[in-house]
A and B are shown apart, each in its own frame.
Chain A
Amino acid sequence: MDVLQINNLTKRFGNYTAVDNITLSVKAGEIYGFLGPNGAGKTTTIKMLAGLLKPDNGSITINGNNLAEKPRVCKQDTGYVPDRPWLFEKLTGLEFLQFIASLYNLDREQFAAATQYLLKTFDLYDWQDHLIESYSHGMRQKLIMTSVFMQEQPLLVIDEPMIGLDPKSARIVKEMFKQRAQSGTAIFLSTHSMEIAEELCHRIAIITEGKLHISGDMNSLRAEAGKKNSDLEDIFLELTGAWELKDIISALRNKA
């Protein structure tokens, strides 16, 4: 069953088309990687999925509900992690989590059990009563992850999940993604890390200049790139203009 269905999604900023007629779907239990060079339209797409930007064309369906028609129902079903999370600086970590839980109507027992477990797992337990303004970048990232993992929504939309995380936390986050997917959650994941995409994602889409260049599993991507036994980085570079990179590298080597 498709938890997320995107049809002909388009977003224009003036004359510039940031997202151009994208169609894709994510099934329950699937981790879907969304890759692309800087400025390709990944964050714009994600913001539309989170209900923060109004599409110019196309539709987004989450768990059978149209986002434009039933925004509250869709948002209740979606956990969203922005790429640069802004958090309430003058709140403590626990106060922030309580606030988020109240927005999503999380019941008291689930909140208590989930947060204490997650805070301990992410090494934030001793920091939960400190103001967020004293948190490092990685701690903020872990806090916002906690706020998403403490709920059990059918869809997670994650923009750059590993930025600022230490190796231990990054490992935990990856395991949590896998575990959530096994329990039926659909995860839409945007990342620049090829290792993470290759390790976690069941299917991967590559977007360039707002258009969906290709979508499929690793084997179909390899076939498309004409590179058997290659890793995702090679495939990505091949599909997003490796010839330019080759020229640049050879120019740099000649200069050296």
Chain B
Amino acid sequence: MTSLFLPYLYSIKNRFLPKGYPSSRTLILIGFGAILFLALYLVSLKTINYFHSQNELGVILSLKIFEMAWVIVFAMLIFSSMVSGVSAIFLSQDNEIIFASPASLSELYLMRYLTTTFYTSWMMIIFSLPVFGAYGQVFSAGPVYPVLMVPAVICIASIGSGLGLMVTIILVNLFPARRTKDIVVYLSLLFGILLYLIIRLLRPEELADPERFPDFIEYLSRLSTPATPLLPPNWASGLLTGYLQDHYIDWLLAGLLVLTPLVLYFAGEWIMNRWFFPGFSKAQESFGGYRRFTPPEYSPSPLTWFFRKEMKMFIRDSSQWSQLFLIGALIVVYLYNFKVLPLDRSPLPADAIANIIAYANIGLSGFLIASLSTRFVFPSIGLEGSGFGLTLTSPLSIKRYMLYKYLFYVLPFTILMIILLVASNHLLHIQGPMWWISLITGLVITWSVVAMALGFGAMYADFKAENQAAVQGGFGAILFLFCALSFELVTILIASIPAYRLVRGWRWGIYTSSPVIIQTTAVLLVLLLVSVLLSTICLRKGIEKVSQNFQ
């Protein structure tokens, strides 16, 4: 085996087994992963069981969802392989050492192919195995099913990253040197957005609703339409569906699944040998810095310059701002879901169900805010790298630095939350107290979550991180997300009682009594107090730790 794998093996050993046995942090991560794995398996089991028990149609429907899940997994794998492929193959900092050595390009490709496949697919594999495994349990497929399913998942992951890497190497060579890095990021993102929009706008949920089709025959024909045989995920779903239903193994599909990664690997290796060096040389030229910028007006205010600096760093880093496309698509899809909600077909009164959804929407929007905070706010301190030292040595106090950072991020996040809540409330035709309840609770959550992200980001700042993906998947980021979501859940649960009373009184036209007003005010005050306390604690802890971390 090539010695290029040594740094990875040593790094993994040093990170997870620093003293020869697993550290407590490693055990917490394994435990966390195991709980997630089990929870996902149980939820999938319950959902698939529900579909499966809905007579014959349920079986067809659950298998259709199975097929769609494979397509989604595959598309996401290609997308993430393309994005990581650029960083791994062309921009990785170790290239300077490895490529200057006599290691062959074939060895380099093998190392990049296997490590990229691992990095891009390990999470997908962990999430997909319990879901696909639950199908085996529901269909009583027996012990051979996992023997087919696990290699199928691995083959699909290998095909996805093989394709992604090949496309990346070719693309980098097609574009002019200075735009190379940026263009691949844009293309990859646009590819992902397009795919996401297609899946959402196709409205696969309609398949679960036979009434939407003029007649039952048309619905059945839509369900049983054979998926395109050219797509690799359909080979996997076809192979496993055959086994789930009739214990039949389609050897042609199995052969395709096993042979395609090998063919793609050798094709990728050929492309690497032919086009890697010109592309790598170009990728270095992208950082020439020959572009001239308009000189800014000097302002002696640190706040003004702090905002300018953050804004300029964000705008000039294409890997940062190009993600705004993705957020834009996310918002469109998010709001589109509210537009197509079939409220009229609910057994409850439409306005009651709309109010319930509007309340649940606070949690959903909060989840979006927490995810985006993990992406942008959490790594913002670590990203400053060694430049953070200059801030520490300047007369600007670290408290003021954190305050400025907070103000910079809380503003766009507040606007985003207002847009999400006001637009979805509008689409749900919400009027009365729920409009204000959702807005106030949503804003309290936003302000606290941003403060928590900054605090945790300071506590776990990694000033030497090679790439952001590693930071966002790190222990600190997972811990932040877990705490932020728990805080949101508790907030929504506490606020639910006065919210229910206020909305019920308004719907029935009952005069709001003093105890309800007092209770609402008290809950609001408690929520505010908890939020302020939590935010302050997180920020203080962050301030304490960040100076030590920087050492």
Residues of A whose CB lies within 8 Å of any CB of B are: 13-14, 16, 47, 50-54, 72-73, 75-76, 78, 80, 82, 85-92, 95-96, 98-100, 102-105, 131, 133
Contact A90 B14 (CB under 8 A): yes
Contact B96 A13 (CB under 8 A): no
A176 CB to closest chain B CB, in angstroms?
20
Contact A91 B7 (CB under 8 A): yes
Contacts of A88 in B (CB 8 A): 7, 10-11, 94
User: Out of B101, B178, B464, which one reaches A100, CB within 8 Å?
Assistant: B101
B236 CB to closest chain A CB, in angstroms?
35
Contact A14 B96 (CB under 8 A): no
Contact B277 A54 (CB under 8 A): yes
Contact B102 A72 (CB under 8 A): yes
Contact A90 B15 (CB under 8 A): yes
B473 CB to closest chain A CB, in angstroms?
15
Contact B96 A52 (CB under 8 A): yes
A171 CB to closest chain B CB, in angstroms?
26
Q: A86-B97, A98-B6 are in contact. Are A13 and B177 (CB under 8 A)?
A: yes
Expressed in whole angstroms, the Cα–Cα distance for A50 and B284 within the complex equals 14
Expressed in whole angstroms, the Cα–Cα distance for A90 and B98 within the complex equals 16
Of chain A, the residue at the smallest CB distance from B551 is: A134
Contacts of A82 in B (CB 8 A): 96
Expressed in whole angstroms, the Cα–Cα distance for A14 and B3 within the complex equals 37
Interface digits, B364-408 against A, CB 8 Å rule (1 contact, 0 not)?
000000000000000000000000000000000000000000000
Of chain B, the residue at the smallest CB distance from A84 is: B96
Contacts of A76 in B (CB 8 A): 102
Contacts of B96 in A (CB 8 A): 52, 82, 85-86
Contacts of B6 in A (CB 8 A): 95, 98-99, 102
Contact B102 A75 (CB under 8 A): yes
Contact A47 B284 (CB under 8 A): yes
User: Out of B14, B94, B101, B277, which one reaches A131, CB within 8 Å?
Assistant: B14
10 A-B Cβ contacts within 8 A? Answer: A13-B177, A52-B284, A54-B281, A76-B102, A78-B100, A88-B11, A95-B10, A102-B3, A103-B102, A133-B464
Contacts of A95 in B (CB 8 A): 6-7, 10, 14
Does chain A have a CB within 8 A of B432?
A: no
Contacts of A104 in B (CB 8 A): 101-102
Contacts of B7 in A (CB 8 A): 88, 91, 95-96, 99
A134 CB to closest chain B CB, in angstroms?
10
User: Out of A80, A85, A86, A103, which one reaches B3, CB within 8 Å?
Assistant: A103
Expressed in whole angstroms, the Cα–Cα distance for A59 and B59 within the complex equals 67
Contact A75 B284 (CB under 8 A): no
Expressed in whole angstroms, the Cα–Cα distance for A251 and B277 within the complex equals 48
Expressed in whole angstroms, the Cα–Cα distance for A131 and B13 within the complex equals 12
B302 CB to closest chain A CB, in angstroms?
29
Expressed in whole angstroms, the Cα–Cα distance for A87 and B101 within the complex equals 14
Of chain B, the residue at the smallest CB distance from A77 is: B102
Expressed in whole angstroms, the Cα–Cα distance for A82 and B101 within the complex equals 13
Residues of B whose CB lies within 8 Å of any CB of A are: 3-4, 6-7, 10-11, 14-15, 93-104, 177-178, 277-278, 280-281, 284-285, 288, 290, 464, 466
Contacts of A131 in B (CB 8 A): 14
Expressed in whole angstroms, the Cα–Cα distance for A96 and B10 within the complex equals 9
CB-CB nearest 4 A-B residue pairs = A102-B3, A54-B281, A90-B11, A103-B101
Contact A91 B103 (CB under 8 A): no
Contact A16 B288 (CB under 8 A): yes
Of chain A, the residue at the smallest CB distance from B288 is: A13
Known: A82-B96, A86-B97. 8 other contacts (CB 8 A): A13-B177, A13-B290, A14-B290, A16-B288, A51-B100, A95-B7, A95-B10, A104-B101
Expressed in whole angstroms, the Cα–Cα distance for A111 and B277 within the complex equals 30
B493 CB to closest chain A CB, in angstroms?
41
Contacts of B102 in A (CB 8 A): 72-73, 75-76, 103-105
Of chain A, the residue at the smallest CB distance from B11 is: A90
Contact B10 A14 (CB under 8 A): no
Expressed in whole angstroms, the Cα–Cα distance for A85 and B100 within the complex equals 12
Contacts of B15 in A (CB 8 A): 90
Contact A99 B3 (CB under 8 A): yes
From A47, A80, A91, A104, residue with most partner B Cβ within 10 Å: A91
B182 CB to closest chain A CB, in angstroms?
15
A50 CB to closest chain B CB, in angstroms?
4
Contact B281 A53 (CB under 8 A): yes
B168 CB to closest chain A CB, in angstroms?
19
A180 CB to closest chain B CB, in angstroms?
18
Contacts of B100 in A (CB 8 A): 50-52, 75, 78, 80
Contacts of B284 in A (CB 8 A): 47, 52-53
User: Out of B98, B104, B280, B285, which one reaches A72, CB within 8 Å?
Assistant: B104
Expressed in whole angstroms, the Cα–Cα distance for A86 and B97 within the complex equals 8
Expressed in whole angstroms, the Cα–Cα distance for A92 and B9 within the complex equals 12
B330 CB to closest chain A CB, in angstroms?
33
B547 CB to closest chain A CB, in angstroms?
17
Expressed in whole angstroms, the Cα–Cα distance for A52 and B103 within the complex equals 13
Contacts of A102 in B (CB 8 A): 3, 6
Of chain B, the residue at the smallest CB distance from A78 is: B100
A60 CB to closest chain B CB, in angstroms?
13
Contacts of B14 in A (CB 8 A): 90-92, 95, 131
Contacts of B10 in A (CB 8 A): 88, 90-92, 95, 99
Of chain A, the residue at the smallest CB distance from B278 is: A54
Expressed in whole angstroms, the Cα–Cα distance for A133 and B18 within the complex equals 14
Expressed in whole angstroms, the Cα–Cα distance for A90 and B6 within the complex equals 12
From A14, A88, A98, residue with most partner B Cβ within 10 Å: A88
Contacts of B277 in A (CB 8 A): 54
Of chain B, the residue at the smallest CB distance from A81 is: B100
Of chain B, the residue at the smallest CB distance from A16 is: B290
Of chain B, the residue at the smallest CB distance from A99 is: B6
Expressed in whole angstroms, the Cα–Cα distance for A14 and B179 within the complex equals 11
Contact B97 A100 (CB under 8 A): yes
Of chain B, the residue at the smallest CB distance from A48 is: B281
Contacts of B466 in A (CB 8 A): 89
Expressed in whole angstroms, the Cα–Cα distance for A78 and B464 within the complex equals 29
Contacts of B281 in A (CB 8 A): 52-54
Of chain A, the residue at the smallest CB distance from B98 is: A103
Contact A86 B94 (CB under 8 A): yes
A152 CB to closest chain B CB, in angstroms?
15
Of chain B, the residue at the smallest CB distance from A12 is: B285
Of chain A, the residue at the smallest CB distance from B12 is: A90
Expressed in whole angstroms, the Cα–Cα distance for A95 and B15 within the complex equals 14
Expressed in whole angstroms, the Cα–Cα distance for A76 and B104 within the complex equals 11
Of chain B, the residue at the smallest CB distance from A105 is: B102
User: Out of B11, B99, B285, which one reaches A13, CB within 8 Å?
Assistant: B285
A173 CB to closest chain B CB, in angstroms?
19
Of chain A, the residue at the smallest CB distance from B289 is: A13
Of chain B, the residue at the smallest CB distance from A95 is: B10
Contact A51 B11 (CB under 8 A): no
Expressed in whole angstroms, the Cα–Cα distance for A50 and B290 within the complex equals 23
Q: A14-B288, A54-B281, A103-B3 are in contact. Are A75 and B101 (CB under 8 A)?
A: yes
From A13, A53, A73, A92, residue with most partner B Cβ within 10 Å: A13
